[in-house]
Amino acid sequence: MPVAGLPQQPAEKPEKKKLIKFFIRENQMKDLWRRASVAKENVDANINNPSTASQLLDRIKTARNGLMAGEENYEVAERHINEVEYQIAFVQRVKGWSGSLGIGLFVYETVWGIVLLVFMFLVLGPAAFISPVEPESGGLSQEVVFLLGSMIWGGLGGVIGAWLSLVKHISKDQDFDRQHTLWYINSPVMGIGVGAVIYLILRAGLLSISGPTQEITSPLAIYLLAWLAGYQQNVFTSLVKRILKVFAIEEDGGESTAPQPVLPEPTTEEEAPLGAQQK
């Protein structure tokens, strides 16, 4: 009798049936059935995502149907149970990582955010938001203030990006993996570096955000772009590619990407330029 969810096998030869009965004993069938029952209990107790739970329960049902159909379905049924057990073990590991490492990373990002905001408002002060003026005597020049401000906003973008990623993978998707720990640790630092490069690009006039004159009358546009690049590194990568095009540099070969003029091919021998006719 065909079983839903299991591949249809051709009719077994008598010799093969003997081998299956020899290798697949009754106690193995009972043990796999017991594992299916335990897996079902673990799904009920540990899986909070309804979609994931439904998929795992369907696998368990398919495995049980295969076992009831005969020993020839043992291998496929065992594969289904193995995958269910792996998914349950992964969810349990994620819960452990989320309650320890995940919370620690959230605190780490929070400390970074507080430090950056304190530096912005207490060290740089209102000068970080004022249009370019003459440098104050005995203080930092306006250029340095804007550079530091761009670095701070880039760092804040990295902090918020890491925050949202933690919330998504811990609370929503519930697939937080400690393998990405380095990314969370590096995100604020990367944002600070990206903010510095963004400021240098704009001040060098390689990217215009205030019109063709390239004169920056307010640092707010710089800060916004620095925050976006720190929050999403793909924004920074896109900007770098645009700068490479400005210098006509190709990433893989270093050759110019500027289009070369293409002359139309002559249609007749008389229209061909002098010296281009076939001899």
Which pLDDT tens digit goes with each residue over 221-248? 889 999 999 999 888 888 888 778 777 6
Average pLDDT, the chain: 79
What pLDDT, on the 0 to 100 scale, is given for residue 73? 84
pLDDT in tens, 61-75: 999 998 888 888 888
Percent of the chain clearing pLDDT 70 (strictly above):
72
User: Domain ends where: 92, 112, 139?
Assistant: 92
Q: Record the pTM.
A: 0.68
Residue 133 clears pLDDT 60, i.e. is over it:
no
Give residue 119's pLDDT: 92
pLDDT for res 212: 45
Stronger pLDDT, 171 or 136, i.e. the higher one: 171
pLDDT at 268 over 50: no
Helices (H), 98-141: 103-118
pLDDT at 203: 82
Higher pLDDT, 156 or 124: 156
Same domain, 29 and 45: yes
Q: Does residue 229 form part of some domain?
A: yes
Task: Give the pLDDT band (50/70/90) at residue 37.
Answer: very high
The verdict on residue 57 lying in a domain is: yes
Where are the strands (E) in 149-258, listed by range?
none
- The last residue of one of the domains, among 57, 72, 92, is 92
132: containing domain: 95-246
DSSP letters for 15-66? HHHHHHHHHS-HHHHHHHHHHHHHHHHHHHHH---HHHHHHHHHHHHHHHHH
Among 92, 110, 135, give the residue marking a domain's end. 92
Q: How many domains is the chain partitioned into structurally?
A: 2
Residue 28 in any domain: the answer is yes
